[in-house]
């Protein structure tokens, strides 16, 4: 599709609204990354939204500013008398009092993925899936398409540095969404184009084997709209296996990207420039000038090979949706980051503090490599918080081996999130593996002591990285305060 066939936001194109049952929805756990984004889009489309959350947060504040009524804590009294449905995520337990009250009133209970799928109706959805990199790639597309004036709708698992939001109701016809495989909820979506960045075993409470993971991603691919395209990494083995399976079924058109020689969009080089990089790709399969294709070089304003690869995935998928490649390549340079994805928290006493959402071994390794490339002669010091007992049980050794790439690490207790403790599973499993790999690492249960440790060992030129999907993100500013006052 040519660029002039894309929806023109200035023309005030009519966007779909929402199903009647979502006219007055109540969100349980409204402050979560996925839940708050859906609530924001509904508010922007005119719905009357109420919700509850365990505590105050930036997301809760933003929702109230948009007109939502949000109460703290979980109580049946929070459910409005005129609520038309209750929206939940997989983290909401059956004994939640607000969910129990909704069931007693025979209100529809809508999973967040079904709500998001309903909001995609009438748009041209582009869904981003994979074990790692979903938030970054979705954000890159949202920023680039917005920079080009296409005003897409988007729903992302983190706040963009630019617009400062994880969701937006756009006037254009494109809808970019992060597709979460953790609970198989991405089976709800029927995208026009989909990206699969990688396929690895994770979310052990829901998947018992790699075969189950492959079957889940195959189901996702089978949901593509007729004529749709699946954009898949040609470098990661799990993604290559998915490509083999999808092509064997013949149900979807597949376009690959990466450094592999057989990639349709081949990465010829990634050159690091401190905390940015430059990427050169060659287009194949006749796109933009014949079978031999042509070379294209563009900038990526975040560090690391994995982020550069994410940008190539975004470029390939956007082009498949009809966005001119040269324009999109330039626009991708406008992306400067998303919350918690190697996000700079500041500098004090000559020490930089950066926050990372990495919580899987592959993510830790990738972020540490990226930071190492931009750290110069300084050391990389890590404060790591393991996420989930099930993940630590299955991947504790690999997490410890990944931490060996840091100069020194402090490991906090496991952040349980939605899980109950598992007997015998503690952070010591990670620490023991890290020490066996030659790492300088210690376990520290106290966050206050951990902050003191990191601030005390850092010297000018060092870089401190807070890593994990839990509340370790709150400790970066405290480390900076401690550095500034010493």
Residues serving a catalytic function are 134-135, 178
Place of tokens 């963009």: 160
Q: Is 233 helix (H, G, I), strand (E, B) or coil?
A: strand
Q: Residue 451 corresponds to which tokens in the numbers above?
A: 């902050």
Do 103 and 28 touch, CB atoms closer than 8 A? no
Q: Residue 358 corresponds to which tokens in the numbers above?
A: 């990495």
Residues with Cβ within 8 Å of residue 213, at least 6 apart in sequence? 181, 199, 200, 201, 207, 238
* Sign of the four-CA dihedral 483, 136, 161, 47: negative
C-beta atoms surrounding 231 within 10 Å? 28
Q: Residue 485 corresponds to which tokens in the numbers above?
A: 């006052």
- Please give the helix or strand (H or E) that residue 384 lies within, else none: strand 380-384
Q: Write phi, then psi, for 151 (nearest 5 degrees).
A: 45, 65
Residues with Cβ within 8 Å of residue 11, at least 6 apart in sequence? none
Angle among Cα 393, 96, 92 to the nearest 5 degrees reads: 45
Residues with Cβ within 8 Å of residue 120, at least 6 apart in sequence? 175, 177, 189, 190, 191
480-486 LR contacts (CB < 8 Å, sep 24+)? 480/345, 480/346, 480/347, 480/348, 480/353, 481/348, 482/451, 482/452, 482/455, 483/348, 483/349, 483/351, 483/353, 483/455, 483/458, 484/348, 484/349, 486/349, 486/455
Do 15 and 45 touch, CB atoms closer than 8 A? yes
Do 115 and 35 touch, CB atoms closer than 8 A? no
Q: What is the DSSP string of 191-204?
A: -SEEEE-------T
| Spatial strand order in the sheet of 276-283 | 167-168, 153-155, 174-178, 124-129, 193-196, 229-233, 253-258, 265-273, 276-283, 295-300
Angle, to 10 degrees, between the axis of helix 305-320 and the axis of helix 361-374?
A: 110
Do 102 and 83 touch, CB atoms closer than 8 A? yes
Do 146 and 163 touch, CB atoms closer than 8 A? yes
Using CA atoms, how far residue 440 sits from 111, 405, 454, in Å, is 43, 10, 13
């Amino acid at each position: 599709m040519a660029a002039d066939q894309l929806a023109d936001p200035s023309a005030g194109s009519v966007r779909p609204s929402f199903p009647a049952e979502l006219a007055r929805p109540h969100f349980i756990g409204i402050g979560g990354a996925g839940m708050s984004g859906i609530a924001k889009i509904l508010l922007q489309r005119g719905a009357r939204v109420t919700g509850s959350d365990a505590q105050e947060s930036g997301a809760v504040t933003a929702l109230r500013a948009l007109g939502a009524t949000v109460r703290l804590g979980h109580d049946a009294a929070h459910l409005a008398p005129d609520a038309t449905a209750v929206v939940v995520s997989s983290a909401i337990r059956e004994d939640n009092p607000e969910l129990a009250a909704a069931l007693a009133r025979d209100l529809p209970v809508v999973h967040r993925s079904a709500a998001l799928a309903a909001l995609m109706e009438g748009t041209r959805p582009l869904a981003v899936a994979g074990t790692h990199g979903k938030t970054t790639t979705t954000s890159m597309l949202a920023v680039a398409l917005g920079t080009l004036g296409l005003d897409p709708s988007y729903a992302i698992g983190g706040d963009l540095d630019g617009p400062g939001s994880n969701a937006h109701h756009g006037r254009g016809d494109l809808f970019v969404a992060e597709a979460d495989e953790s609970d198989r909820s991405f089976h709800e979506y029927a995208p026009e184009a989909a990206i699969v960045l990688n396929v690895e075993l994770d979310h052990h409470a829901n998947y018992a084997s790699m075969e189950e993971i492959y079957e889940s991603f195959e189901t996702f691919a089978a949901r593509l709209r007729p004529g749709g395209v699946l954009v898949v990494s040609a470098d990661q083995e799990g993604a290559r296996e998915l490509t083999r399976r999808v092509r064997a079924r013949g149900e979807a058109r597949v376009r690959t990207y990466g450094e592999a020689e057989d990639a349709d969009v081949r990465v010829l080089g990634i050159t690091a420039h401190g905390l940015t990089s430059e990427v050169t790709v060659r287009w194949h399969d006749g796109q933009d000038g014949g079978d031999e294709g042509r070379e294209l070089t563009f900038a990526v304003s975040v560090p690391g090979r994995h982020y550069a690869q994410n940008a190539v995935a975004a470029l390939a998928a956007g082009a498949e949706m009809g966005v001119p490649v040269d324009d999109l390549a330039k626009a991708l340079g406008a992306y400067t980051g998303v919350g918690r994805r190697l996000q700079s928290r500041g500098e004090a006493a000559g020490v930089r503090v950066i926050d990372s959402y990495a919580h899987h071994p592959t993510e830790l390794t990738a972020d540490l490599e990226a930071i190492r490339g931009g750290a110069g002669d300084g050391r990389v010091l890590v404060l790591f918080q393991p996420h989930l007992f099930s993940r630590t049980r299955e991947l504790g050794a690999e997490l410890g081996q990944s931490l060996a790439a840091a100069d020194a690490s402090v490991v906090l207790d496991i952040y349980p999130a939605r899980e109950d403790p598992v007997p015998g599973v503690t952070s010591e499993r990670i620490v023991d593996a890290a020490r066996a790999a030659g790492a300088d690492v210690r376990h520290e249960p106290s966050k206050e002591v951990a902050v003191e440790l990191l601030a005390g060992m850092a010297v000018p030129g060092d870089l401190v990285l807070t890593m994990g999907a839990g509340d370790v993100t709150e400790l970066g500013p405290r480390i900076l305060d401690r550095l500034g006052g010493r």
